[in-house]
Structure 1
Amino acid sequence: MQRSDVTRDDGTWVGLSLDVPDRRQPELCVFGAGARLLVSQLSRPVLLAIVEEPLQGVDFWRTDAYRSFVPPLRADMGRALSGSPERWAHHFARHLGDSPGSPLHEGRWLLSCESPLKRRRHAATSHAEYWSSMLVEGHPDGYIDWCLHSTSWEILPLRPMPGPDDSRVKAYRKQAREGTLPPVLLWWVSGLDCHLILDGHARLAAAVAESIEPPLMQLHRTLPHDDLAARVGDAVRFYECELARFAELRAVHGPTVPDGAATAGPQLVRLLHDLDTGQRPTWAWPLPGGEGQWHRIAREVTVGNRWPPA
């Protein structure tokens, strides 16, 4: 896997671009069967979901099978990497690439410290209140309400969130107060329209308990190289056409007409950045056996419970 830094035009670090070759199907995988989804890790069902028609939300059933592929983070590592999103990104990227149970597959990905979740909190809302509201509730079953939380891109834990007095949470609360709390690793899954916690359930619980903004690392798919090259070419040609159009106007109306660079230039920069970092839909593989197999798995993991809902 090749890693490369992604920055803005002013040099601000955004994240790591991960170029993954020759990994056809990951060990943490989304399968689809019609309106039904299955998230599986190392062949173990992790999450069953049904997209409610007409696209109003998702009913889900969460098993306790998920295991993080990131080894436990010690306090001394938190202090050593504190304040360096770049170093944390490389730490997570190494485990994403090398450890079993990761969602990476062939293509380009972005592992970024920037997240739309951080931009939605109102100044009058405390961090504890806001981040608590972003957590999808329910275990083992629950509902992701796309109408009530339209485009809020909530956070769905892959196991029950520990309480504020949990021993791990207490340890992380101390790090949160010291400003050395390691990031929470999130994976954007478009079929659920929310983020899954890959690593850091206790760290997020600690941030909520201490009412601080949790440091985040967000993982999502980006454009593959061939699509990126084609769209960059289209963007550059549009930029050149804009400059040519302004040049024709200047030839007719004189130098009082701007040359267009002040408008088209920043637009091109924004477009190129968006093409390089923008989210792409999550791949879902056809579930072998289709809906019948999905229902068989649902019966096995929800035995004795009335799920899915009628």
Structure 2
Amino acid sequence: MQRNDASRNVAAWDDVTRNDGTWVGLSLDVEEHRRPRLGVSCAGQHLLISQGARPVLLAVVGEHLQGVDFWRTDAYRSAVPPLRADTARALAGSPERWAHRIARHLVDSPDGPLHGGRWLLSPESPLPRGRHGGTSHAEHWSSMLVEGHPDGYIDWYDHSVGWEVLPLRPMPAADDSRVKAYRKQAREGTLPPVLLWWVSGLDCHLILDGHARLVAAIAESVDPPLLELRRTLPRDDLAARTHEAAGSYESELARFAELRAVHGPTVPDGAATAGPELARRLHDLSTRARPTWCLPLTGGEAEWHRLTREVTTGRHWPPA
């Protein structure tokens, strides 16, 4: 485990790897007292994502749970500062080095979503795996983008298990000057990763940073490099469930030992099956996404409706 003395809000960083040494992501153990400025609150089926006192996204889950109507403001500000081209060239092709750099920005910035608990910042995401044969990268990623500004709809019926990407601000045009610079990096293979945040209440990936980079990747029809931020099992629960998994492993070996005592050494010792199963369980405990932390909205639905009237300036939203 690697200590991080740069911030009192993080107890430790920990590189997560598989048994074969493959790097999976960067685990962040955030001190319990930390509170996020970018966070989710709710009142019934009404959700609010705010950044400090600024509403960023208002949403309401449909009555039949087939999707979410949303209204996006222009208030979102990224916790990651602009990434320089020389930095992109220096870190090109290394998601591990990018994760350490971006994690530092998330830890040090007051405007990000990190709160007390454990998080994983990982390049592994289901999004690229959803591309069907014969579909170009541009077509696939364009289909993943949730359209609409200021209002739109997250479709849970056609896109399940979080396979959509919702920008937190309007996407720039393909001829935008920033996009043109990133298109060159996409062709060179030095494009910095797009930072995503999986929010369970929306069942959707939100773009925390890299709107222009994603447009550039689509324009060049390449898979954008990704870093996905997700909440994982808290430290105490992880320790308890790890203990349970180890106990199950030992019980399975004891069962095989009893069989060997009765039937002789032709019975295997069980390690060949119990060992890989234990490894899978431990990996899953350490990396699987947990539901996003959602606080009760102070003032309840009345406050949500008040904010809606304020940010929509009298527009008829949400639709009936």
- Shorter-chain TM-score category? over 0.9
Task: Mark the runs of 5 or more structure 1 residues left unpaired by the alignment.
Answer: none
Q: Does 2:81 align with 1:66?
A: no
What is aligned with 2:168? 158
Q: Deviations over 1:207-265 (max 9, x none)?
A: 00000010000001111110000000110111111111122222222322222111111
Q: Does 2:105 align with 1:95?
A: yes
Q: Does 2:30 align with 1:20?
A: yes
Write the distance in 1 (CA, Å) between the matches of 2:171 and 2:276. 43
Q: TM-score, normalized by length of structure 1? A: 0.97
What is aligned with 2:92? 82
**Deviates further, 236-245 or 16-25:** 16-25
What is aligned with 1:8? 18
Q: Does 2:60 align with 1:53?
A: no
Q: How many residues align?
A: 310
> How well do the aligned residues superpose, as a CA RMSD in angstroms?
1.1
Write the distance in 2 (CA, Å) between the matches of 1:60 and 1:51. 9
Identity among equivalent pairs (%): 76
What is aligned with 1:182? 192
What is aligned with 2:144? 134
Write the distance in 1 (CA, Å) between the matches of 2:111 and 2:119. 17
Which amino acid letter does the alignment assign opposite residue 280 of structure 1? Answer: R
What is aligned with 1:297? 307
Which amino acid letter does the alignment assign opposite residue 71 of structure 1? Answer: P
Task: Tell me which of 257, 266, 271 is aligned to 1:256.
Answer: 266
Which amino acid letter does the alignment assign opposite residue 249 of structure 1? Answer: L
Q: Does 2:208 align with 1:198?
A: yes
Write the distance in 2 (CA, Å) between the matches of 1:96 and 1:300. 30
Write the distance in 2 (CA, Å) between the matches of 1:24 and 1:3. 16
Q: Does 2:288 align with 1:274?
A: no
Write the distance in 1 (CA, Å) between the matches of 2:83 and 2:248. 47
Write the distance in 2 (CA, Å) between the matches of 1:12 and 1:168. 33
Write the distance in 2 (CA, Å) between the matches of 1:162 and 1:298. 25
Which amino acid letter does the alignment assign opposite residue 100 of structure 1? Answer: P
Task: Mark the runs of 5 or more structure 2 residues left unpaired by the alignment.
Answer: 1-9
Q: Secondary structure at the match of 2:149?
A: coil
Write the distance in 2 (CA, Å) between the matches of 1:7 and 1:174. 32
What is aligned with 1:227? 237
Q: Secondary structure at the match of 1:6?
A: strand
What is aligned with 1:241? 251
Q: Secondary structure at the match of 2:269?
A: coil
CA offset at residue 3 of structure 1? 1.2
Q: TM-score, normalized by length of structure 2? A: 0.95
CA offset at residue 152 of structure 1? 4.6
Write the distance in 2 (CA, Å) between the matches of 1:15 and 1:126. 27
Which amino acid letter does the alignment assign opposite residue 122 of structure 1? Answer: H
Q: Deviations over 1:164-193 (max 9, x none)?
A: 111111110000001100000000100000
Q: Does 2:140 align with 1:119?
A: no
Write the distance in 1 (CA, Å) between the matches of 2:38 and 2:296. 14
Q: Secondary structure at the match of 1:3?
A: strand
What is aligned with 1:308? 318
CA offset at residue 158 of structure 1? 0.4
Write the distance in 1 (CA, Å) between the matches of 2:162 and 2:124. 15
Write the distance in 2 (CA, Å) between the matches of 1:89 and 1:104. 15
Is the contact between residue 162 and residue 205 of structure 2 (CA under 8 Å) also seen in structure 1?
Answer: no
CA offset at residue 124 of structure 1? 2.2
Write the distance in 2 (CA, Å) between the matches of 1:23 and 1:204. 34
Write the distance in 2 (CA, Å) between the matches of 1:11 and 1:151. 28
CA offset at residue 24 of structure 1? 4.1
Which amino acid letter does the alignment assign opposite residue 76 of structure 2? Answer: Y
Q: Deviations over 1:140-177 (max 9, x none)?
A: 11111111112252110001111211111111000000
Q: Secondary structure at the match of 2:127?
A: helix
Task: Tell me which of 101, 104, 108 is aligned to 2:118.
Answer: 108
Which amino acid letter does the alignment assign opposite residue 46 of structure 1? Answer: V
